[in-house]
Amino acid sequence: MSELRIGIAGLGVVGAETAKQIITAQTMLCKRAGADLKIVAVSARDKEKDRGFSLQNIIFYTDPLKLLEHDDIDLIVELIGGEQGIALSLVEGALNAGKHVVTANKAMIAHHGFSLAALAEVNNVSLQFEAAVAGGIPAIKILREGLAGNAIQTVVGILNGTCNYILSEMTSSKSAFQDVLKEAQSKGFAEADPSFDIDGIDAAHKLAILSAIAFGQKIPFSSLAITGIRQVSDVDISYAGELGYCLKLLGIAHRDKAAEVSMALIPADEQLASVNGSLNAVSYSGTPVQSCVCIGPGAGAGPTSSAVLADIIDVASGLANFAYGIPVEFLAEQKIEHHKSSQQSYYLRLSVTDKPGVLSEISAILKDHDLSVASMIQNGQSEDGPVFLVFTTHKCAKAEIEAAVQIMQKSEHVLDTPMVIPIFDTGSFG
């Protein structure tokens, strides 16, 4: 049996679990890989920390770049993280040295993946990053292998477990955003600084990677429109439920249209609406498959290390594919067709003064911008405080509702920034 000699950079929860599994489940993994998987060296800050496995006969470095000096290392597993810095230097150095690379670094791949994939091809080695997207869901493998015979048209996903947990808890407990965020942080579902998650950046990294593979295109990260959940209110959660929807943060990409990460209302009977807690989901549509939906744990030591191990086995067995499913030279430049007729429905919430004539004023603005109201809710009365007006529209152009909202904000009766959320349905993006 041949031998695959491994160096692991980063022994956080994912790196430690990966190393532990290679050691403790070696017999099974080696049979599936068709090779003896051997950890030669690792890198982390603290050698003395208990990580659940023995470092005996494994070389330890505090500097991950030292792994590049080992001619006997065939594969570098990069689990440091970060778009640039030492992680990028390590991966570039490894590929240039003719070493395979497996990484879970979504930010690095979203920003530098195409150049790194080209570097891997030039040096006749593999660059694999299944663990960068959706944790335990084999989202990339499904695209590159199971759906390889399909022309994928649409990718829709719940791609951030932190946001999905927060929105799910707000729905079930009817609690405010900040309260649920604090609870998520205390349980370890959210970082001390949750900005990357709640501002949609993490989901956007993953969507950029998936859409590039799905469409065979170079998708610049800068081309994505990104809106997070920071502004969501328990009021919107409540009204969404009253209207027969639930609220999710979705990554949405369609061939020849700009990809976006945005809050969206989903009909309560849609499959994605039932994906709650920290779970992720990815939905692909194309020809001839029609549709394929995958649901599973999107983060954590176990799910993420599962994806890392799958990539290691593919490298060892010679089954690793091109990073993006095809050689980088065949990836097309992104072509975005700006369809003036592209339309969808919207949810619109206004905080207004409770005075006669306000509803007629708002209705006139909607009419002036050719916006047709599908439903309206006006609950309660207030002598000295605001009331909410909630509308859902029939399908319209995004520019039309944005223009209407700009006019509404100038009204003395509109007391806060209107909340506009797109309504997702299968036909909107197909």
pLDDT tens, position by position, 332-389:
998 776 554 578 899 999 999 888 889 999 999 999 999 999 999 987 666 667 889 9
Domain assignments of the chain as residue spans, ordered by start? 2-134+305-329, 139-297, 346-428
Q: What is the pLDDT of residue 319?
A: 87
The class that CATH gives domain 139-297 is: alpha beta
The class that CATH gives domain 346-428 is: alpha beta
Strands (E) in 298-372, as ranges, are 332-333, 346-353
Q: For residue 202, what are the contacts with CB-CB under 8 A and spacing of at least 6?
A: 106, 159, 160, 162, 196
> Cβ distance 168 to 277 under 8 Å?
yes
Percent of the chain with pLDDT over 70: 96
Q: What is the pLDDT of residue 340?
A: 47
What is d(CA 244, CA 266) in angstroms, rounded to the nearest whole number? 8
> Strand pairing partners for 157?
251, 282
What is the fold of 2-134+305-329? Rossmann fold (3.40.50)
> Cβ distance 126 to 100 under 8 Å?
yes
What is d(CA 153, CA 59) in angstroms, rounded to the nearest whole number? 47
- Which two three-digit tokens encode residue 376? 């309206």
| Three-state DSSP state, 294 | strand
Q: What is the pLDDT of residue 430?
A: 41
- Which two three-digit tokens encode residue 200? 């949609």
Strands 217-218 and 332-333: parallel
Q: Chunk the chain into consecutive blocks of 10 residues (it has 430) and report each block's average pLDDT, rounded to whole numbers.
A: 93 95 94 95 92 91 96 96 95 98 97 97 97 94 95 96 94 92 86 93 97 95 94 93 95 91 94 92 95 92 95 94 94 74 87 88 92 88 78 92 94 91 69
| Three-state DSSP state, 127 | strand
- Which two three-digit tokens encode residue 21? 């599994």
Torsion from C-alpha of 73, 74, 77, 83, nearest 10 degrees: 100
Catalytic residues: 206
Q: What is the pLDDT of residue 322?
A: 94
Q: What is the pLDDT of residue 341?
A: 54
How confident is the model over 88-143, as pLDDT tens digits? 999 999 999 999 999 999 999 999 999 999 999 999 999 999 999 998 999 999 99
- Which two three-digit tokens encode residue 62? 């505090």
> Strand pairing partners for 370?
none
